[in-house]
Amino acid sequence: MSLIGVVGAGVMGVGVAQNLAQCGYEVVLVDKDEETLDAARATIARNCRMSALMGGPALDADEILARITTAVGVPAVAKASVVIENVTENWEIKQQVHREIDAACGPDTVVVVNTSAIPITRIASLSSRPERTVGVHFMNPVPAKPVVELIPGVHTSPETVRRTRELLTAMGKKAVEVKDSAGFVSNRVLMLTVNEAAYLVYEGVASAADVDEVFRGCFGHPMGPLETADLIGVDTILYSVEVLYEHYADSKYRPCPLLKQMTDAGHHGRKSGRGFYTYDS
């Protein structure tokens, strides 16, 4: 199988790299420093060990990690046939990374943008080959979620969509194609829900636990909106809501001040050990 580049070794990048390696792909996972990459490998090893205990397939951590090469810096993905970008939902950071990807990769490389809110056409405008840029919104945890949103931009070619669909199918994903619009389908709805749930806590209407209990008990949701925020990352939720607010200029997307305070405090959810809930190691 061809080499796949994964840029960004945070929660989503780790999940994407693991999913690809589980399906037999050779992966090069890159980030800005060795410390982040070491933590990513440790997380993948832990995920593999826990998989069967959590109802998933039995996974050989050594076999999966043998398919994943780690490297510092975007140029390490130069030989990849597909590059999947997974950096944080911050426009300044996205711009820099996509310029580096464009400089490093060849004319036939498909660049997949894993974003929860930023329009794909906006990101493709940074590329000298916008027809090779396409959006895929993976869900967390990536290996366990069978459905993704596939988002062609204005310039995305049918060939790029076809190649991306083939990769997603090989990863065990069903791709639901949606038009390029900030937030797409999932986060136009989810981010409003999470943001409003945060307002309920901020205003003292209910505790986070009570808000989530209403959603689990009344609507049958497996997780409440604030548990979901902790899983995704409170900082990621804030950045996504800010993108929607900026793009649509609609007050219904106004970010809850509590999300801003939690992000500033480093209370980002599961990945930091504390968000709306507190987690042990």
- Regarding whether 122 and 20 lie in a shared domain, the answer is yes
- Regarding whether 171 and 64 lie in a shared domain, the answer is yes
pLDDT of residue 136: 98
Please, what is the end-to-end C-alpha distance for the chain in angstroms?
36
- Regarding whether 33 and 142 lie in a shared domain, the answer is yes
Tokens of 60: 């050989």
pLDDT of residue 52: 84
- Regarding whether 197 and 161 lie in a shared domain, the answer is no
- Regarding whether 210 and 98 lie in a shared domain, the answer is no
In a domain, 99, yes or no: yes
CATH of the domain at 64: 3.40.50.720
pLDDT of residue 99: 97
pLDDT of residue 280: 83
pLDDT tens digits for range 58-114: 999 999 999 999 999 999 999 999 999 999 988 999 999 999 999 999 999 999 999
> Could you check whether the bond before residue 152 is cis, i.e. omega within 30 degrees of 0?
no
pLDDT tens digits for range 268-281: 999 999 999 999 86
- Regarding whether 153 and 40 lie in a shared domain, the answer is yes
Owning domain of residue 117:
3-177
State how far the Cα of 45 lies from the Cα of 64, in Å rounded to an integer. 8
In a domain, 274, yes or no: no
* Sign of the C-alpha dihedral computed for residues 112, 113, 119 and 122 taken in this order: negative
Confidence of residue 54 (pLDDT cuts 50, 70, 90): confident
Number of domains in the chain: 2
Give the mean pLDDT of the chain: 96
- Regarding whether 104 and 217 lie in a shared domain, the answer is no
pLDDT of residue 1: 66
- Regarding whether 200 and 93 lie in a shared domain, the answer is no
- Regarding whether 221 and 151 lie in a shared domain, the answer is no
At 98, the amino acid letter reads H
pLDDT tens digits for range 10-43: 999 999 999 999 999 999 999 999 999 999 999 9
Contact 171, 20 (CB under 8 A): yes
State how far the Cα of 88 lies from the Cα of 96, in Å rounded to an integer. 12
- Regarding whether 256 and 205 lie in a shared domain, the answer is yes
In a domain, 276, yes or no: no
Report pTM: 0.90
In a domain, 280, yes or no: no
Q: Which among 120, 130, 12, 9 has a CA at the least distance from the CA of 70?
A: 9
Given a cut of 80, is residue 247 above it in pLDDT? yes
* Sign of the C-alpha dihedral computed for residues 71, 272, 189 and 139 taken in this order: positive
- Regarding whether 196 and 165 lie in a shared domain, the answer is no
In a domain, 182, yes or no: no
In a domain, 17, yes or no: yes
How far is residue 30 from each of residues 74, 78, 87, 101, 127, measured CA to CA in Å? 6, 11, 11, 11, 20
- Regarding whether 94 and 137 lie in a shared domain, the answer is yes
Which one of 154, 177, 200 terminates a domain? Answer: 177
Element (DSSP H or E) covering residue 113: strand 110-113
